[in-house]
Amino acid sequence: MARRVSQDPDFKYVECDIRPQTSNCPIRGLSEPQAKRIPAMPEMQDEVQQAQRLSRAQARLLLVEDDEKLACTLARGLEHEGYVVDVSHTGHDAIGRADARDYDAVVLDVLLPGASGHDVCRQIRTRDRWVPVIMLTAIGEVSDRIRGLDAGADDYLVKPFDFGELLARLRALIRRGPSERPRVLEVGALRADPMTRVVTWAGRESELTPREFELLQHLIRRPGQLVSRAQLLDQVWAEDYSGSPNVVDVYVGYLRRKLEHEDGPPLIRTVRGAGFILEPR
């Protein structure tokens, strides 16, 4: 049972939030609050005063959820726990809000109209906003979680989830504070941003897939050095990968098509039977 202090100057009381479990709420442990007033006992006065002090230093959250009923219920639950909550129902509105205000954390649904949660998270990071982001989704596939984390999310929670778990994850993220931006990799005229996976080479920008970027990143850390296919398979693919080693050549081909062009200098040189050398100039 959670308690909230009344601001009524004439009568001090504590609002006790009674939350019956309902099958209609997709978040376990959270439903529409029902409050009743209980006079604060003398031994509770210190707790009342402490709660009033804490209420002046509340953390601010951005909640992004297109389901208005769910957003309202979730926002009320978070506000009851002491958070100040701003609500967005679309991806584009969320991007604007995150750009205009400093939030302590963002609770971000994946399936949104307009820009998806992945797009929103990527745009937030592109704008050098490193607020902690926890993504919510009804899609439980591992590939979707990987996509969200690669987009810049700090945590991921699959619906249905327990409201208490969301609160615990938020507390952990807020304690940790804004994440540090990964260092941009630069060698010669080649520039690669691990956060956005945008690579600049020969005056042109290209966005890579996670696997393409990981392969390029391994080569960037060894400029001018011969890197074998076996090394790349071991570092970029799983150690127990049992497919054809030609997959490395396939992905090197993807990199060349995205980064090199006819009028520009070559970037990756193939050493027949041995491996590859990154030659940024």
Tens digits of per-residue pLDDT, 71-92? 999 999 999 999 999 999 999 9
Beta bridge partners of 37: 15
pLDDT at 166 over 60: yes
Same domain for 148 and 61: yes
CATH code, domain carrying 257: 1.10.10.10
Q: To the nearest 10°, the Cα dihedral for 65, 69, 74, 80?
A: 140
Q: pLDDT band at 177, cuts 50/70/90? A: confident
Phi, psi (degrees; rounded to nearest 5) at 119: -65, -40
CA distances from 132 to 25, 98, 243 (A): 26, 11, 37
The domain tally of the chain equals 2
Same domain for 133 and 6: yes
Full-model pTM: 0.56
Q: What integer pLDDT is reported at residue 26 of this predicted model?
A: 61
Same domain for 33 and 119: yes
Same domain for 255 and 200: yes
Q: What integer pLDDT is reported at residue 69 of this predicted model?
A: 94
Same domain for 219 and 136: no
Maximum mean pLDDT: which of 38-52, 157-171, 236-250: 157-171
Q: Could you tell me the residue range of the domain that residue 149 belongs to?
A: 2-176
CATH code, domain carrying 150: 3.40.50.2300
